[in-house]
Amino acid sequence: KQWYQRRVRGVKFLWEVYRHVLDILKNNNKVEKLYQDIAQMAFNFCIKYERKAEFRKLSDSVRNHLNLVIKHSHQTNSVNLNDPVSLQLHLDTRLHQLDCAININLWQEAIKTIHDIHSLMQLRDR
């Protein structure tokens, strides 16, 4: 029983770390690759520990962070989605998110992610 309680606390702690780190790194072009890597690690965490509720929250957070990137694109050191490398990083993360959503049968999240990918593709085609 103690082992299980420690494991649950560890999983909750790791989830909070992912959430906070992503929130800190969300719109800074200096750490953009790190943000995308950690987002993918967080999606993998949700798969490994079968955390569907956390997956939904993570998807919403990443979606909100993208909206903030678009809204504050004029600020110094903000992520520039007109840069093909930045846009590709976002697309790669969304494709990974889609794979994970399908993997754990979260079809609504998969559909939302497809819409996100479509929106990013439209930015690329401008």
Q: What is the pLDDT of residues 62-97, one digit of tens each?
A: 999 999 998 988 888 889 888 999 999 999 999 999
User: Residue 48: pLDDT band by 50, 70, 90 thresholds?
Assistant: very high
Candidates 108, 103, 87, 112; CA nearest to 46 is 103
Neighbouring C-beta atoms of residue 83, cutoff 10 Å: 12
pTM: 0.91
Q: What is the pLDDT of residue 75?
A: 85
pLDDT tens track for 20-37: 999 999 989 999 999 999
Judge whether 59 and 109 are in contact, CB under 8 Å: yes
**Contact partners, residue 86, CB within 8 Å, separation at least 6:** 29, 32, 79, 80
